[in-house]
Amino acid sequence: MVTFEQSQKQELDNVLEEAEKFHGHLGPFLVLGVRMGLIGVREVKAKENNNKLRVTATLKYSVPFSCIIDGIQVATKCTIGNKKLELTDSSGITTEFEIQNKRKVTVALNPATFSRLKNKMLSKDVSPEDTRKLALMVASMPEEELFIIGSK
Ligand SMILES: [Zn+2]
């Protein structure tokens, strides 16, 4: 028997692997994007490759924040190229998911959690091994600790 948690964990692992290949490395911000994307798809009840899904990501358009974008693209298949992903350059990290004229869900990075992790996540002299470790830690953190999910 595979529990719901196990199948979610398996899905996250699969998408993270795909995202790492696409993005070139595994870092904490890429993981944030993948997790936000998967939560959004789940919360608006979009099936994979749902044609009506649109995503708007609001974040600072510079590395490492912009790494989030690639995570979102891999997890949702809404991309800059297919114009289903829109970017708003701003402070804060929030992503809005919408099934046209139906459901709308916002997934925001919990500011309290981020301020606790910020120094580690934004530190410049971190080895690739430690970046990876940090990414895996972010991957295993409880969803409710990392994100604030709201629906309209
Ligand atoms: Zn990156």
Query: What tens digit of pLDDT does each residue of 120-150 get?
Result: 899 888 899 999 999 999 999 999 999 999 9
Instruction: Give the H or E element holding residue 149.
Output: strand 147-151
C-alpha 26 – ligand 1 centre gap (Å): 7
CA terminus-to-terminus distance, the chain: 35
C-alpha 67 – ligand 1 centre gap (Å): 4
Query: What tens digit of pLDDT does each residue of 55-94 get?
Result: 999 999 999 999 999 999 999 999 999 999 999 999 999 9
For residue 124, the model assigns a pLDDT of 85
If you search the block for the tokens 């899905």, which residue do you land on?
A: 11
C-alpha 148 – ligand 1 centre gap (Å): 23
Q: For residue 51, is pLDDT > 90?
A: no
**In 22-100, which ranges are E strands?**
53-59, 85-89, 94-99
Q: Between residues 4 and 44, which one has the greater pLDDT?
A: 44
Helix residue ranges, H only, 62-142: 67-76, 111-122, 128-140
For residue 113, count other CB atoms closer than 10 A to its CB: 17
